[in-house]
Amino acid sequence: MLYKEPLAYRMRPEIIDEVVGQQDLIGKDQPLYRMIEKGHVPSMLLYGEPGTGKTSLAFAIAGSTNMEFYAINATTASKKDVEEIIAKARMSNNAVLFIDEIHRFNKSQQDYLLKALEEGVITLIGATTENPFHSVNNAIRSRCGQIKQLSPLGKNDILSLLLRALKDDEKGLGDLSINIQDVHLEKISSITGDARTALTLLEDIVFASLEDEDGVYQITDETVEYCLKNKGFTHDKKGDIYFNLLSSFHKSVRGSDVDASLHYLARLLEGGDLESITRRLLAIAYEDVGLANPQAGARVLSAIEAVERLGMPEARLPLSVTTIELCLSPKSNTAYKALDKAIKHVQKGVTSDIPDHLKDTHYQGAKELGHGETYKYPHNDERGWVYQEYLPKALQQASYYDPKEIGEEKKLAQVHEKLNKLKQDMRKKK
């Protein structure tokens, strides 16, 4: 049997009680549920990964009220479309406008929408895959009482949705005879937190299967594996998922969790962005490993060269080695933290005249100005160190570097402590 609409479309909830998952947002014990139950729909922005149910939730909210409902997609809607809807809404003064991909609206469209919001002509439900705090006009955000992030559905949520679709003979596949094992449903529900993808997979699997002599669709392991191949991966390059993956990768390496680091590396590799991965690894080598293992930066640069020469799939070889090495390396962020302290001093204007003995002498007249006259050349001392002040006078008590007693930095810390003691002793004698 052929259906006019896809299963995912047919199974879209019509009222909020049919919404699967998101119980922390729309569960019966939540304030939003109680508001809608009483007929009050606040303007809101919903954001989350594709398939988390933003559009479904908007339609379910509309179906749970007696308000007029208008839906448009910002990627295709014009300012005229918005004007026409708002003109209709003025007639009833009781309308909900759902805008999918709201971050795609241009300034003119957003300004017109803002006016209608301020006047109370419409209640807005905006949906976006982008973080609204970065992508939606601040004035619109401020007029939306609810800004909610939807999470990927859990395995049990997906499983209950699949079972509902198999039983529903009006909107689902309940009018078909289907022999599908629990293990097959488990596989589908485990591979994705995306309701749309899960329902589409179920529909594909059913219609890719053979019917027996009694007209029963016999679902086999082979058919399930064929349809599931590469269906569980989501990667929106340059979007929230992409940046969250990079962040999770970096933090997992910093936290020395090898398994988590490899997981996020695998997802980033599947997204096909080698440049971002290598840049992040190089940043980790200097930001997080730093002086605890000073050779890490050079080793990562060498690995990056190998990645560029090899390309995929062989590029995964140096990337795996480098990721694990950085994960298990001792770590220190003292170097860049020390520099950041110095930068803050400079930005605040905490500077002073450079000591005369350090000033440039490579020009005629420098000697007459007294530049460099009392400079002591450290190499002339058998210790390779001499006492002299290098910081401007007003900053001679400044201290930026606070070493860690870890890895290779432990040796540097000992040298640093010894030099500081020598300097303090000489200052006392002065």
110-133: pLDDT as tens digits: 777 888 888 888 888 989 888 888
- pLDDT confidence tier of residue 249, bands split at 50, 70 and 90: very high
Average of per-residue pLDDT across 7-23: 87
135-182: pLDDT as tens digits: 787 888 888 878 888 888 888 989 999 999 999 988 999 999 999 999
What is the structure's pLDDT at 18?
A: 87
Question: Between these two residues, 396 and 233, which has the higher pLDDT value?
Answer: 396
- pLDDT confidence tier of residue 369, bands split at 50, 70 and 90: confident
Rounded to whole angstroms, what are the CA distances from 282 to 118, 239, 244, 279?
48, 22, 18, 5
The model's pTM is 0.56
- Domains along the chain with CATH numbers: 22-149 (3.40.50.300), 155-228 (1.10.8.60), 240-328 (1.20.272.10), 353-429 (1.10.3710.10)
Cis peptide before 313 (omega within 30 of 0): yes
Rounded to whole angstroms, what are the CA distances from 54 to 42, 195, 234?
15, 11, 17
CA distance 3 to 110: 38
- Residue 153 is classified by DSSP as P
Q: 187 with 194: CB under 8 angstroms?
A: no
Q: Is the pLDDT of residue 102 over 70?
A: yes
Question: ∠ CA(219), CA(223), CA(226), 5° rounding?
Answer: 155
Percent of the chain with pLDDT over 70: 97
321-356: pLDDT as tens digits: 999 999 999 999 999 999 998 888 888 877 778 888
Indicate the range of 27-36, 231-240, 357-366, 421-430 predicted with least confidence: 231-240
Query: For residue 169, with 0-12 CB atoms within 10 Å meaning exposed, 13-18 middle and 19 or more buried, which class applies?
Result: exposed
What is the structure's pLDDT at 357?
A: 77
CA distance 133 to 105: 15
CA distance 139 to 164: 41
What is the structure's pLDDT at 243?
A: 78
189-236: pLDDT as tens digits: 888 778 888 898 999 999 999 999 999 999 999 999 888 875 655 555
The number of beta carbons lying within 10 Å of the beta carbon of residue 249 is 25
Average of per-residue pLDDT across 49-65: 85
Question: ∠ CA(352), CA(421), CA(399), 5° rounding?
Answer: 35
What is the structure's pLDDT at 179?
A: 94
Q: Is the pLDDT of residue 27 over 60?
A: yes
CA distance 306 to 304: 5
Q: By three-state DSSP, how is residue 329 classified?
A: coil
